[in-house]
């Protein structure tokens, strides 16, 4: 569900900006998001709006997580996250991931 809400915020922002002839929207999404879910949400949310038919390109933020307890570092994907927490694969201590739940619009291409 967080995918839906994040995309809703992006769509609101684009519509507030009065953009009408949008071909492509690029966003950078934190590790908590699934690019597929984001694109599905985008299609749903833009139906019947001037943004309908535009493409959402998702750049997944490459996220490294460092465990504060044991110092292990590993690559975080959306499957590892519980909310914005991950469980360290080495020592099982939960750690919060900075920026995992943020979505930024990095570019909009007009028609
Ligand atoms: Zn650890």
Distance 7 CA to ligand 1 centre (A): 32
Residues 83-108, mean pLDDT to the nearest whole number: 87
- CA 79 / ligand 1 centre spacing (Å): 18
Angle at 7 between CA 21 and CA 11, to 5 degrees: 30
pLDDT in tens, 18-29: 887 899 999 999
Please check the confidence at residue 66 and state whether its pLDDT lies above 70: yes
pTM of model > 0.85: no
Q: Return the CATH number of 2-110, one of 3.10.129.10, 3.50.50.60, 3.30.2320.50, 1.10.3720.10.
A: 3.30.2320.50
**Mean pLDDT score of the chain:** 89
Q: What is the dihedral of CA 67, 70, 75, 76, to 10 degrees?
A: -40
Q: How confident is the model at residue 80 (pLDDT cuts 50, 70, 90)?
A: confident
Output the pLDDT for position 1. 64
- Under DSSP, the state recorded for 36 is H
- Stretch 34-60: mean pLDDT: 93
| Cα 95 to ligand 1 centroid, rounded to whole Å | 8
Q: Identify which has the larger pLDDT, 12 or 100.
A: 12
Percent of the chain with pLDDT over 70: 98
pLDDT at 100 over 90: no
Report how far ligand 1's centroid is from the alpha carbon of 17 (Å).
43
Paired sense of beta strands 22-29 and 55-60, if any: parallel
Question: What average pLDDT does range 47-65 have in this prediction?
Answer: 89
Residues measured by CB to lie within 5 Å of ligand 1, the ion: 67, 69-70, 72, 88, 90-91, 93
């Amino acid at each position: 569900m967080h995918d839906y809400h994040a995309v809703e915020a992006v769509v609101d922002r684009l519509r507030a900006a009065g953009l009408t002839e949008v071909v492509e929207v690029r966003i950078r999404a934190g590790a908590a998001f699934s690019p597929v879910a984001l694109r599905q949400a985008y299609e749903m949310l833009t139906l019947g709006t001037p943004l309908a038919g535009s493409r959402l390109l998702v750049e997944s933020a490459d996220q490294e997580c460092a465990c504060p307890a044991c110092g292990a570092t590993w690559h975080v994907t959306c499957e590892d996250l519980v909310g914005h927490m991950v469980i360290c694969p080495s020592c099982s201590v939960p750690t919060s991931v900075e920026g995992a739940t943020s979505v930024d619009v990095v570019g909009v291409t007009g028609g």
